[in-house]
Structure 1
């Protein structure tokens, strides 16, 4: 059903129709929207969602967003998945008490030929009160993380990676993790690849246990680290392995990562019993 819903959304996005300039916009406060409609009609469009919401949704480009970035944004898997999530059984628009009137595309960051990060602002209102729901969105899509447990000489250790995280301005110890390229990505394969890239440890797909699969199905079987501002949802896997103590020593302080891509990673191995104290990583 989810695939059919996304296909329906994709079809709606392909049939976008330019909006005519609203005749009620005349004061200075609304001059931006008037300008977008009259001078840049290709960057102001509307769609009709296949949900209980009947009114069209305006999609606009903020100043500085190019035409190519605008169209890439609304055709991206990040944006389509967000629209789909709004209309699922537990979606914001599912029961008809809220309405989406407008989406302002504010920023696009490309990872090669695909969109890696997408920033936009959604105008969503509660129908009963007329109040606006906070709608600033940083979209980056699904990701995967792996808890690696190494057993040696009666002790269990966890593997962490040390990385510079510019958004928080700090060096952070965290579980090995990585982004999926799109919503249809190979989750387990991505987990195995990220672990090898970040730690040098080669894992087998059949050894991976999906911890988030044990969540109630109503959760979507993923975790949301920051749902107040970001759409990121993470699948968490675990892998256990018995190793010689020499392996633990070899891994400690090992420098890894795709350095040509700016990944400056150092491996840390900590006793599992101390893991909850060793890292501020919410995963």
Structure 2
């Protein structure tokens, strides 16, 4: 195990590494950089006299890397770490963190094109159904999730499956960021600079998920064909299947997925305010 001092840390923060992770790998891991910069900025806001912790501010004292998972050889995928954050009175904040970084969720809504555009009638949401071993499930219904790649396109396993099964390719210029519309942004350096996304498990994980909306009107016959095709289970061996769920039922059908509930709540809130 080796140790180094976290760059630009005051007081100096020792970082204890595992034997399979070096300093350069950690400091080049995007999730670590996003997390530590966000945390350091939030700690700096305690100098404001109106801050709850101003009189006895908390400081980051130490970071212990506990384990690392590598993807495809030596690319860091996940990191589990423990921090020591305390004030001068010896009071500590919980500091176990699972680092995995952000992703994006997509609320993809289809509506027959013979329905008036101004109504919510017959809208359906595309859900993915796939194994989620951390949840102990082989068939969890959820909003499609992935990344926005360098070409500005929604990418990943769910995006590939949607394109293969429906021919729908979702370009970035057609997306509406519901989290950007709904969530307040930091207005000054006195505010915490959190990511513009939903944090599904902030008590233990850094993951943040911007939620995007994409709506498309399609011929009713095509909608009917897709509804029958996508809802049914397909050949053995497919890891992801698609489900067309009525919009009014999505909070129940996909209610075990935080992305579904957050996406539905953002959509309904923004719609009622006339912002989408």
Give 5+ residue unaligned stretches, structure 2.
48-56, 116-121, 187-193, 260-276
Distance 2:214 2:151 in 1: 14
Could you say what secondary structure the match of 2:45 adopts?
coil
1:213 to 180, 200, 221: 180
Aligned to 2:11: 55
Aligned to 1:166: 133
Greater relative contact order, per chain length (Cα 8 Å cut-off, separation 6+): 2
Aligned to 1:109: 69
Give 5+ residue unaligned stretches, structure 1.
1-39
Tell me the CA shift for residue 204 of structure 1: 3.1
TM-score normalized by the length of structure 2: 0.72
1:264-283 → structure 2 map (5 Å cutoff): 264-279=239-254, 280-283=256-259
Deviations 1:226-253 (A, max 9, x none): 1110000111111111223223323223
Aligned to 2:119: none
Distance 1:240 1:211, change over 3 A: same
2:160 to 197, 216, 231: 197
Aligned to 2:81: 120
User: Is residue 149–residue 241 contact of structure 1 (8 Å, CA) maintained in 2?
Assistant: yes
1:230 partnered with 2:205 = yes
The alignment of Structure 1 onto Structure 2 pairs a total of residues equal to: 223
CA-based RMSD: 2.5
TM-score normalized by the length of structure 1: 0.71
User: Is residue 148–residue 158 contact of structure 1 (8 Å, CA) maintained in 2?
Assistant: yes
Distance 1:277 1:123 in 2: 40
